[in-house]
Structure 1
Amino acid sequence: MKLFNRMPSEVRAAVVPGDRVLTYAEGPDGYVIAADKALYLGGERLPWFRVDRGVWDEEGLTVGTTDGRSHRALLPEPGRIPEAVRERVIASIVVNQYVPLDARGGVRLVARKADTDQLIWEFVFDSGLDPQDPGLRALAEQALEETRRSFGV
């Protein structure tokens, strides 16, 4: 309870009901908040299953999302944010399986646990492969079904 009392009112106000704050850090553009279900960055709530990666440098954090967007936060003193981002992104991944499709390459099948405990599947095709190619898409769908059966999900 002491942590909650010390937490700035801006942090409490930024987090939606149902999300529990794990850690936070203040930067020049506001707070970055790692909660149990989402990362709050630049006034936006990014559910962990949508966060693809976090990259740190001496100035702060860059987060890539599964829809290809990038978010940046300057954090001169990040505190425990780096560890929280890493842990929560890894915890959201249930299956991460690479499957060769044909001579041109393959696809990485990634299942992430959403807030509702539902699995969200993502196809990450090798560079140079067209994800809109119907033949490759059919092979990827077949690989997904085989992967789901083998993992029991």
Structure 2
Amino acid sequence: MFLTAAYDVGMPSFGIAPERRRKAGGPTGLVPARADRIIRALSWWWASAPLLLFAPAIAYAMGLPDVRREVGWVFGLLALLTAALAPTAGLVAAQIGDRREARGRFLIMAAVSSVSILFFLFFGVLFPECPEGYYC
């Protein structure tokens, strides 16, 4: 009698918490699992930016100096694009998928990326240190 009364009221019995349920589809009809996979992939894509940035230095340390000289700029450009595009695309995916936690995570990613990009632009492009005897 007690268990059926607790069950009818909707209270959990024996310490079992009720399940959290999601909507079947967001405002655009995106399946929750698909939105979660897209958000996870964009998070990993953003996390790969430092590896892309340091790939030429790693190749140089492994004894491949030609990689750094010939295509090092490509890795830098890819790291810059990854740092800028992944949080932007993630914010869009989180908004469409109606994922509040993911939106916060991508906002933090965007802040970290923008600080890193501004640091690179200020010290790498606008305010470089020139060796003695050279004009920058």
Quick check: TM above 0.5?
no
Structure 2-normalised TM-score? 0.29
Q: Higher helix fraction: Structure 1 or Structure 2?
A: 2
Q: Higher strand fraction: Structure 1 or Structure 2?
A: 1
Of the two structures, which has the highest relative contact order with CA contacts closer than 8 Å and spacing of 6 or more? 2
* The structure with more radius of gyration: 2
